[in-house]
Amino acid sequence: MLDAVLDFLDQGLSNASWIGMLVYMLIVTQITILTVTLYLHRSQTHRGVDFHPALAHFFRFWGWLTTGMVTREWVAVHRKHHAKVETAEDPHSPMVYGIHKVFWDGVSLYREACASKADMEKYGRGAPDDWMERHVYGAHPYWGPALMAVIDLALFGVIGGALWAVQMIWIPFWAAGFVNGIGHWAGYRNFETSDTSRNLIPWGFWIGGEELHNNHHAFPSSAKFALRKWEFDIGWLSICALRKLGLAKVLRVAPSLDVLPNVPLPDADTLKAVLTHRFQALSDFYRRVIVPTMAEERQRAGDSVRSMPRRMRRALANGGRWLDSEGRERLQAVLAKRPTLKTVYEFRTRLSTLLDQRGADQALKGLQQWISEAEASGIRSLQDFAARLKGYTLAGAPAAA
């Protein structure tokens, strides 16, 4: 009898090898990642995809079992993050709390955000509110992890406790810490969004595609996060597979941008494309206008473009959004020494303001005037960009006659 108990504590019911336990951990943690990115994030929060009711309920159950997170709370916190991004009301902004706090203690920030009943009601609308949610998943969130502990211990014996601990820290580390922290601190940017979001790497497969965080902030409701030819989103691949099985229905994806040649004058369709791809337009402006202008002025002055502090170069890309008063003074001092760069930066500022305007007629007039003045500026890179901007059109839209 004692030997049987010791064998159970040593190997559990599965009698699995170390390789078997490793495979088990890889499978269960990746299902948890897919639960978060596919169900909580892309489906419930942003309504980019719908899942078959049976699959949706499996995701709810698995999230409860392996994380103890309540759907409404997760949805509300993330929607507030988008609504208040990089402000004092953002639940987990490294700009506000610092990268160390968000990375190492993101769970505490999440719990603090969940404590606001007003926010849960405001931002959590549309989340599941059936009997199971009210009496089991939402009412007893810690029952799930407790049940998971029993399962792990039964399958693997004492070592199951360690496996359970890894499962419990998986989402807090990768989601609350890594994506919410590093995803707003390091990486590359495809789009000059009004936040600090970054793509961690172009191949999003380890944490379900959430690595492509800047792409997501540019088009939050898109079910597909990979927006460049070289990028990969395993979450989107999973959605496509589920769609073929009749288990998923894609509701929204980011619209593609085309650029038509020789467009004489921007019209309402142009404006729609420019506004839809506003962050792409600002990114294009930096790469096609500001960077060449810096290079030209470097040649004239005989200094290096890299002699400009990195912080200043970033400010030229994002409009100086994150500079303090001293930083803005330094930026103006830099621009005062580079008159052409100052001119194109002012055009960038005007374009950014224009893209935030409301009212189609006023915005269209402003866009036409901006393009006209850019074409008359005498700055080649600015003129070329204006011609490109006139050709913006949503992919699939009919070409102008």
pLDDT digits (tens, 9 = 90+) for 84-99: 999 999 999 999 999 9
Q: Identify the band that residue 9 occupies on the pLDDT scale cut at 50, 70 and 90.
A: low
Helix (H, G, I), strand (E, B) or coil at 243: helix
CA distances from 171 to 28, 29, 38 (A): 12, 9, 14
Query: Token pair of 266, please?
Result: 């921007």
Other CB atoms closer than 10 Å to residue 135's CB: what's the count? 10
Q: Judge whether 161 lies within some domain.
A: yes
Q: Judge whether 400 lies within some domain.
A: no
Q: Judge whether 33 lies within some domain.
A: yes
Q: Identify the band that residue 176 occupies on the pLDDT scale cut at 50, 70 and 90.
A: confident
Bridge partners, 257 (sequence order): 394
pLDDT on residue 298: 80
DSSP state of 135: I
Q: Judge whether 399 lies within some domain.
A: no
Q: Judge whether 66 lies within some domain.
A: yes
Instruction: Please enumerate, as own/partner, the contacts of 94-102 that have beta carbons within 8 Å and a separation of 24 or more.
Output: 94/180, 94/181, 94/184, 94/185, 94/196, 95/184, 95/196, 95/322, 99/181, 99/182, 99/185, 102/176, 102/177, 102/180, 102/181, 102/184
Same-domain check for residues 300 and 183: no
196, 217, 250 — which closes off a domain?
250
Same-domain check for residues 279 and 165: no
250, 282, 300 — which closes off a domain?
250
Q: What percent of the chain has pLDDT over 90?
A: 83
Range of the domain at 55: 2-250
**Average pLDDT in the 133-159 region?**
95
Same-domain check for residues 171 and 289: no
pLDDT on residue 300: 77
Q: How many CA atoms lie within 13 A of 246 on its CB side?
A: 0
Same-domain check for residues 341 and 242: no
pLDDT digits (tens, 9 = 90+) for 195-216: 999 999 999 999 999 999 999 9
Q: Does the structure show a pLDDT above 70 at 396?
A: no
Bridge partners, 258 (sequence order): 393
**Average pLDDT in the 138-143 region?**
96
Q: What angle do CA 84, 88, 89 make, to 5 degrees?
A: 45
Q: Does the predicted TM-score (pTM) go above 0.75? A: yes
**Average pLDDT in the 61-69 region?**
97
